[in-house]
């Protein structure tokens, strides 16, 4: 096995599909195999930190990337990669009438989430908040955060802090918000990933979501990832 760290997305990657929150039994068993094999597993999600830490606890994962890279929890400490006051941004988004706020926003700091109410919600929100912010869809919600930080930024931060090459990190994801980490690490996209995620990954496995994650772990443990 060439990989030392496994960074995995949650929604759409560990779930049964890209339109449910129910975790895949195959994915859970694969996670356990990865941990038992000695991989350091990091959960990288668009969700807020409190929610992510709760899920990670029940998955047996210690390290977390939350809010699409804005917040990192490592060895009991929280680190912030984003900065700024998002109150004005939230006001601008809601003024478009194109999306409704996620209930999680009460617990989110930098990456705000919205439920689309219009087909062109992403475009309308991007025009409202301006170029200093990233606006993208995870398939579950529209996310707005300060530009310059994504899951790939968080992966590079982990590599430096843990003293490993990003080439020794495997990342598995399914959506546009995973593109940064799929490019930065040895990226693996599940079979039903978005076109952007597949293009960013080194390998696209056949199975969708949780089944695809199991296939990704099989590839990693067999030595087929984190290699030239």
- Phi, psi values for residue 7, rounded to 5°: -105, 125
Active-site residue set = 9
Minimal CA–CA distance to 206: which of 188, 186, 220, 223?
188
Minimal CA–CA distance to 178: which of 206, 208, 199?
199
């Amino acid at each position: 096995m060439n990989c030392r760290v496994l960074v995995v997305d949650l929604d759409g990657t560990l779930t049964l599909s890209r339109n449910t929150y129910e975790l895949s039994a195959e994915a859970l068993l694969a996670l356990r195999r990865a941990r038992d094999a000695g991989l350091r597993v990091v959960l990288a999600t668009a969700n807020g930190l409190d929610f992510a830490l709760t899920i990670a606890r029940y998955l047996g994962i210690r390290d977390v990337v939350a809010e699409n890279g804005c917040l990192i929890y490592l060895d009991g400490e929280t680190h912030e990669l984003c900065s700024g006051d998002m109150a004005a941004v939230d006001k601008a988004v809601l003024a478009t009438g194109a999306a409704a706020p996620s209930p999680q926003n009460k617990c989110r700091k930098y990456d705000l989430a919205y439920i689309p109410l219009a087909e062109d919600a992403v475009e309308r929100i991007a025009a409202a908040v301006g170029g200093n912010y990233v606006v993208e869809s995870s398939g579950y919600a529209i996310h707005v955060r300060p530009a310059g930080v994504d899951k790939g930024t968080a992966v590079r931060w982990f590599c430096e802090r843990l003293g490993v090459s990003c080439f020794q990190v495997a990342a598995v994801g399914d959506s546009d918000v995973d593109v940064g980490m799929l490019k930065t690490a040895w990226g693996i996209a599940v079979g039903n990933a978005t076109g952007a995620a597949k293009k960013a990954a080194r390998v696209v496995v056949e199975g969708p979501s949780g089944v695809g994650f199991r296939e990704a772990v099989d590839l990693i443990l067999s030595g087929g990832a984190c290699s030239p």
